[in-house]
């Protein structure tokens, strides 16, 4: 399949979104959007997610979201005092059936712990929230050790195998939740809600190419930090109307802070800056978001000739657009059974310094495939990244064992089986075309099970 054929998926998805702009609103019988559950994080049109935000306060809410329930009443009692605990465990036993570097199996895991303190109950200070978190990744990465691809197969494979401090932040909500300010050790994405580049459907997938946010931004912007790696930063979100918001963030974009041996407690401000901005339009059934980023600091220019002296550039930037739409609702409206589509495109056009200048993902998710399993879901996604032509010329001029990079693509199929509240089992199959963009590396087939536990 040529890159032209693969890229043809994109226009089809965006035609769906464009038609939604002139379509009639969803019928009144559609399930109403859930209220915002965590200050400063947009959870409009929330759906069944394996990552609940630390926001529940009633015994029924705790029992419906966490495997350990309400702790015999202790959890809701602490919630009434403004104290919330979250414990998340992700396990990803996967095997590479064929292709890639070599066949084999591995398990990669993530254990995360967080405490949320609400100033409303604790201090009588309206609209404030402290968040402290810790995480540890451990195990063996299937992508690094067996396949050699750039879009990690396992959901937990988002950071090196080390314990680290994650969040150490304060969020203040003002003007009746129309203005939110977040400062401290933070990320551009969010496990429990939404920050930048978010879609309500991303969390249905296992591949890191899709889950939480499109991985395309991280492939070109070393100053972008995603969970569980955090950095000093501040984010301001303004939502003057129900269906519109704008959001900007400024962060310490020092990529050295991601090194596991720092354990997340290197509090330096060496820079360079990483800046990001986004505007969003939220509808009854359609959401559209547009944004851009700037990554400061020097970036090496891909050398096209071995005898050319090394050059650097100080301008690294990108833009993105993403959207999702509910295509069809069915069954009891209270169960929110529906079929949705999503798509995201990230462009970092300066091919002198950006390894993957064009990135695209798209897919379909069906929630409640049967009346008896309303919280299960089934999904399909395609992830595509095109490597820089300047990088390719440099690799042709100086051949290495890594080969020449053209494009990489992942196709993912999954079924999310909600065993009980707080326990999700997700059988998953991923077909990786040209791992790491190298046409000489055989296409790989990875199969495994994603296990998500919220205690």
CA angle (209 as vertex; 204, 214 as ends), nearest 5: 85
The residue to which tokens 């296990």 are assigned: 451
CA angle (332 as vertex; 331, 338 as ends), nearest 5: 50
For residue 69, CA distances in Å to 65, 76, 133, 375, 417 come to 7, 10, 20, 17, 19
Asked whether the predicted pLDDT for residue 187 surpasses 80, the reply is yes
Backbone φ and ψ for 261, nearest 5 degrees, come out as -65, -15
For residues 79 and 69, what is the distance between their CA atoms, to the nearest angstrom? 13
Q: What is the DSSP string of 304-351?
A: SSTTSPP-EES-EEEEEEEEEEEEEE-S-GGGT-EEEEEEEEEE---T
Q: Is 22 exposed, middle or buried (0-12, 13-18, 19+ CB in 10 A)?
A: exposed
Q: Average of pLDDT values for 34-39?
A: 34
Q: Which of 8-12, 40-44, 134-138 has the highest mean pLDDT?
A: 134-138
Looking at residue 192, its pLDDT comes to 73
User: What are the tokens at 159?
Assistant: 């950071």
For residue 139, CA distances in Å to 113, 318, 334 come to 18, 33, 40
Asked whether the predicted pLDDT for residue 50 surpasses 90, the reply is no
For residues 353 and 17, what is the distance between their CA atoms, to the nearest angstrom? 31
Q: Which residues contact 325 (CB under 8 A, 6 or more apart)?
A: 16, 17, 20, 285, 286, 287, 340, 341, 342
Average pLDDT, the chain: 86
For residues 41 and 34, what is the distance between their CA atoms, to the nearest angstrom? 13
Of 76, 80, 48, the closest CA to residue 62 belongs to 76
Question: 416-451 pLDDT, tens per residue?
Answer: 999 998 999 999 999 999 999 998 899 999 999 999
Q: Average of pLDDT values for 332-348?
A: 93
Looking at residue 2, its pLDDT comes to 38
For residue 334, CA distances in Å to 62, 63, 343 come to 19, 18, 26
Question: 194-208 pLDDT, tens per residue?
Answer: 799 999 899 999 999
Q: What is the DSSP string of 259-274?
A: -GGGTT--------EE
Element at 453 (helix H, strand E):
strand 444-454
Domains defined along the chain, listed by start: 3-21+48-454 (2.40.160.180)
Percent of the chain at pLDDT exceeding 90: 67
Instruction: Say if residue 177 is preceded by a cis peptide, omega within 30 of 0.
Output: no
For residues 424 and 422, what is the distance between their CA atoms, to the nearest angstrom? 7
Q: Which residues contact 8 (CB under 8 A, 6 or more apart)?
A: none
CA angle (102 as vertex; 101, 108 as ends), nearest 5: 95
Provide the 3-class DSSP secondary structure of residue 194.
coil
Length of the chain: 455
Looking at residue 35, its pLDDT comes to 32
Question: 239-268 pLDDT, tens per residue?
Answer: 999 899 999 999 999 998 988 778 888 888
Please count the other Cβ atoms lying within 10 Å of the Cβ belonging to residue 109.
20
Q: Which residues contact 412 (CB under 8 A, 6 or more apart)?
A: 205, 206, 207, 210, 363, 379, 380, 381, 382, 383, 428, 429, 430
Question: 94-133 pLDDT, tens per residue?
Answer: 999 999 999 999 999 999 999 999 999 999 999 999 999 9
For residues 452 and 191, what is the distance between their CA atoms, to the nearest angstrom? 12
Looking at residue 57, its pLDDT comes to 59
374 and 335 Cβ atoms separated by less than 8 Å: yes
Looking at residue 307, its pLDDT comes to 59
Global confidence as pTM: 0.86
Asked whether the predicted pLDDT for residue 385 surpasses 70, the reply is yes
């Amino acid at each position: 399949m040529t890159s032209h054929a693969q890229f043809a998926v994109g226009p089809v998805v965006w035609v769906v979104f464009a038609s939604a702009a002139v379509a009639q609103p969803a019928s009144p019988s559609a399930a109403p959007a859930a209220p915002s559950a965590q200050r400063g994080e947009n959870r409009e049109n929330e759906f069944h997610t394996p990552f609940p935000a630390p926001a529940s306060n009633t015994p029924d809410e705790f029992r419906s979201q966490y495997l350990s329930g309400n702790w015999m009443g202790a959890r809701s009692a602490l919630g009434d005092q403004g104290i919330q605990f979250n414990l998340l465990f992700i396990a990803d036993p996967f095997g590479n059936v064929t292709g890639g570097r070599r066949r084999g199996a591995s398990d990669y895991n993530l254990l995360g712990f967080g405490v949320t303190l609400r100033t409303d109950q604790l201090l009588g200070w309206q609209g404030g929230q402290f968040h402290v978190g810790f995480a540890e990744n451990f195990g063996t990465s299937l992508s690094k050790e067996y396949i050699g691809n750039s879009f990690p197969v396992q959901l937990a494979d988002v950071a090196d195998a080390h314990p680290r401090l994650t969040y150490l932040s304060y969020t203040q909500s003002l003007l009746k939740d129309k203005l939110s300010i977040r400062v401290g050790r933070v990320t551009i994405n969010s496990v429990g809600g939404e920050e930048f580049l978010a879609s309500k459907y991303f969390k249905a997938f296992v591949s890191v190419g899709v889950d939480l946010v499109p991985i395309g931004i991280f492939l070109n912007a070393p100053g972008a930090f995603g969970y569980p790696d955090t950095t000093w930063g501040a984010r301001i979100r303004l939502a003057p109307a129900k269906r519109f918001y704008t959001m900007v963030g400024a962060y310490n974009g020092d990529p050295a802070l991601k090194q596991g041996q720092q354990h997340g407690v290197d509090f330096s401000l060496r820079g360079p800056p990483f800046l990001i901005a986004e505007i969003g339009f939220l509808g009854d059934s359609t959401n559209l978001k547009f944004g851009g980023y700037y990554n400061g600091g020097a970036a090496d220019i891909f050398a096209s000739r071995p005898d050319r002296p090394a050059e650097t550039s100080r301008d690294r930037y990108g833009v993105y657009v993403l959207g999702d739409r509910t295509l069809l609702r069915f069954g009891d409206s209270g169960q929110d059974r529906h079929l949705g589509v999503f798509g995201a495109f990230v462009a970092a056009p300066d091919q002198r310094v950006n390894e993957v200048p064009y990135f695209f993902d798209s897919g379909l998710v069906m929630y409640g495939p049967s009346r008896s399993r309303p919280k299960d879901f089934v999904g399909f996604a395609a992830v595509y990244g095109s490597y820089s032509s300047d990088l390719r010329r440099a690799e042709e001029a100086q051949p290495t064992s890594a080969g020449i990079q053209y494009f990489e693509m992942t196709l993912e199929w999954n079924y999310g089986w909600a065993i009980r509240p707080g326990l999700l089992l997700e059988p998953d199959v991923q077909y990786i075309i040209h791992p790491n963009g190298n046409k000489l590396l055989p296409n790989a087939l990875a199969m495994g099970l994603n296990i998500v536990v919220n205690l």
